Amino acid sequence: MKPPTAGRVRLTAAVALVVTGAAWFAAPSSAATACKNESCATTCTPGAPVGISTIIAAGAFPAGNNTPIAFVDPGDNRSRRLVATQEGAILVWDGATGSLLGTPFLDLRDDVGGPVLAGGERGLLGLAVEPDYVTTGRLYVLYTRSDGDLVLARYQRSGGDPDVGNAGSATILLRIDHPQTNHNGGWITFGLDGFLYWSTGDGGGGCDDNAGLTGDGQVNTTLFGKILRLDVRGIDPGGGAPDDCGAGAGAAYTVPSTNPFFGQEPACDEVWAMGLRNPFRFSFDRVTGDLYIGDVGQMKWEEINLKAAATPAPVNFGWCCREGCETSGNDESSCATPGCIPDAGTTCQFPRATHGFWDPILCHHNGGWASIMGGYRYRGNYVPSIAGSYLYGDPFCGQIWKTTTLDPANPAAIDAACWASGFGGTFGFAEDHIGEHYVVLGGAGGGVGGTGGNVACIHNGAGCFWAGFRGLMEDGFESGTLTPRWSGGSSP
């Protein structure tokens, strides 16, 4: 997923408002551990009795619709789960039988008349359901359409059949002009505050077009290279109308009044965090609200970034001035950094003393890692050996890493180690309503047009008997008398 150095049209205001953080950053913490440079040939296995077992095999996916990118628990007190594919469909997995239903929840593929253009880094990229989906039946999709633009749209569950969505209910909330094929970002999720968050890439090309401090990642007058924060549920009575930064923003959402650039022209009100290159996957700690972001690097460093819930927005993660714990003009990425404050430091600071950029809490050399996939911090109950740990991986390296030390209040001390290997094609991770974790291997069969990916679950040796839990009233849930489902099983 390393891009050519092509130019692109940049959505900017006449006067770019650059945020260096000089007015708001705190004193830096001590230096972090150096970035990782461990060989992807290294093998590692979770300690017994932990296992990772397939729950949806590659052969279970329909032909031409077999690249899973998201496994979503809608939390509607049923045993169904939604499985989004890069090709553009949302399938339904029945946790009671362990099989995919024959009828898709929604089929948005362009070859059947839908709006999703798939291939390469394009396609259906993100799926999120409202926190109160059980009553509203509303869900959100992020996709690239035929002209390459990024689209955030809302759909409604069918009133007559909860396993089918209403294709005619589509409402486009926001569209971003995106002429390049790469760096689409690609994730949406709801935060603990009830707002919808969306990660966007820097718009494509290489080194953010070598624009340095005036690149998309560093100016708040574009929606590229950011985390956006939207009110799609009408929960902020003081929210404002959509800004004019998007192409086709409508009245279907408002901007939270607590966004850092709210009402500050010419900044885009939707911006929540910035300085990102291609944040393909991110997640919130379901307990603390801390935000963990996997940001795909240029040619040298793959990053995991952290915005602690206690840290005021906006946080600027430094791209394209910084990559990993050093300048992006390093010996491998060789990005031009015009306007960036010179900083030869190579140890991480949180934030940096020179310009307020927040360095990554974890980073990996691009020699084997190529497209880092952020995961989740484990808050479940069934795998106690990983309690409180954060998991992440890379589809090219094939390793899953787990933090060994994780205290967001002391980012310099955070560390991680290889935890599982043999998981090439990891397109992301998933978390269900009780906090248990899954691995989504969309690229295991070669991605779009390949033989198909699969979905696996992480368990403590007895299989993922909870994978199809309906809710707290599940028979045997509290007594522990459930007969294990998805027991045993080998790694995918």
Q: Give the per-residue pLDDT at 447.
A: 52
- How many Å apart are CA 348 and CA 358, to the nearest integer? 8
pLDDT digits (tens, 9 = 90+) for 360-396: 999 999 889 999 999 999 999 999 999 999 999 999 9
Q: Which two tokens stand for residue 440?
A: 């989504």
**By the 8 A CB rule, do 36 and 363 touch?**
yes
Give CA–CA dist 465/488, Å, rounded: 10
Tell me what pLDDT residue 8 has: 35
Grade residue 243 by pLDDT with cuts at 50, 70 and 90: confident
Torsion-angle region of 76 (φ positive above 0: left; ψ -120 to 50: alpha; else: beta): alpha
- The answer to whether residues 448 and 86 touch, using CB atoms and an 8 Å cutoff, is yes
* Domains of the chain, CATH where assigned: 71-435 (2.120.10.30)
Contact assessment for residue 285 and residue 292, using Cβ atoms and an 8 Å cutoff: yes
Type of residue found at 163: D
Cα 243 off chain centre by: 24
Alpha carbon 282 to its chain's center: 3
Query: Residue 330 — very low, low, confident or very high, per pLDDT cuts 50/70/90?
Result: very high
What pLDDT is attached to residue 84? 98
* Rounded CA separation 466/246 (Å): 41
How far apart (Å, rounded) are the C-alpha atoms in residues 423 and 32?
Answer: 28
* The pLDDT value given to residue 480: 42
The mean per-residue pLDDT over the stretch 247-276 comes to 90
Select from 302, 298, 304, 243 the least CA-distant residue to 272: 243
340-351 pLDDT, tens digit per residue, is 999 999 999 999
Q: What is the mean pLDDT of the chain?
A: 88
Q: Which of 115-129, 169-183, 321-335 has the lowest mean pLDDT?
A: 169-183
pLDDT tens for each residue of 434-487: 999 999 999 865 555 556 799 999 999 999 999 988 865 554 434 343 333 333
Q: What is the pLDDT of residue 246?
A: 76
Percent of the chain with pLDDT over 90: 78
Give the span between the Cα atoms of 368 and 33, in whole angstroms.
20
Sheet strand arrangement including 291-295: 281-284, 291-295, 301-307, 362-365
Q: What one-letter code names the amino acid at 225?
A: G
Among the residue ranges 70-79, 107-116, 238-247, the one predicted with the least confidence is: 238-247
DSSP symbol at 24:
T
In this prediction, residue 209 carries a pLDDT of 92
pLDDT at position 311 over 60: yes
Least-confidence region, from 21-30, 105-114, 149-158: 21-30
- Burial of 162 by CB count in 10 Å (0-12 exposed, 13-18 middle, 19+ buried)? middle
Beta carbons within 10 angstroms of residue 233's beta carbon: 17
Q: d(Cα 87, Cα 68) in Å, to the nearest integer?
A: 9
Q: Which residues contact 329 (CB under 8 A, 6 or more apart)?
A: 335, 336, 337
Residue 18 has pLDDT above 70, yes or no: no
Residues contacting residue 121 through CB under 8 Å, at least 6 positions apart: 1, 181, 182, 183, 184, 186
Pairing of strands 291-295, 301-307: antiparallel
| Residue pLDDT, tens place only, 216-231 | 999 999 999 999 999 9
Return d(Cα 393, Cα 303) in angstroms, integer.
11
CA distance 36 to 272: 28
**Angle at alpha carbon of residue 198, lines to 316 and 313, rounded to 5°:** 35
User: Residues 427, 440: contact at Cβ < 8 Å?
Assistant: yes
Q: What is the pTM of this model?
A: 0.91
Q: pLDDT by residue (tens digit) across 142-164? A: 999 989 899 999 999 999 999 99
The confidence score (pLDDT) of residue 30 equals: 39
